[in-house]
């Protein structure tokens, strides 16, 4: 009886140890729509910060700012087009 009790306690302890070492379930993967929307939000945020930096630059002339904004708008449009084509 004593051996049976000891063996069940050991077996129970080992099984609890193995159960405690199991890995947690993997988090769910975002859908393609969620990925594209998060990328477009990130792209818009990046565009807005760069635009503010260009417009608030103390040393740039008006012509320089216009040229930089034109290049930024063109690059932003290309990246948006790429993102839409990936859908």
Give the pLDDT of the chain (87 residues) as one tens digit per residue: 777 777 777 766 766 665 666 777 788 888 888 888 999 999 999 999 999 999 999 998 999 999 999 999 999 999 999 998 876
Q: What are the boundaries of each domain within the chain?
A: 33-87
Tokens standing for residue 9: 């306690």
Backbone phi, psi, residue 57, to 5°: -70, 130
Tokens standing for residue 48: 């807005």
Give pLDDT, residue 69: 97
Contact yes or no for 54/72 (Cβ under 8 A): yes
């Amino acid at each position: 009886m004593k051996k049976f009790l000891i063996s069940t306690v050991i077996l129970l302890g080992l099984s609890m140890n193995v159960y405690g070492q199991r890995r947690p379930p993997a988090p769910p993967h975002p859908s393609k729509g969620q990925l594209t929307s998060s990328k477009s939000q990130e792209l818009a945020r990046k565009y807005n910060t760069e635009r503010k930096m260009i417009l608030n630059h103390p040393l740039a002339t008006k012509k320089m700012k216009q040229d930089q904004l034109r290049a930024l708008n063109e690059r932003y449009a290309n990246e948006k087009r790429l993102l839409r084509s990936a859908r």
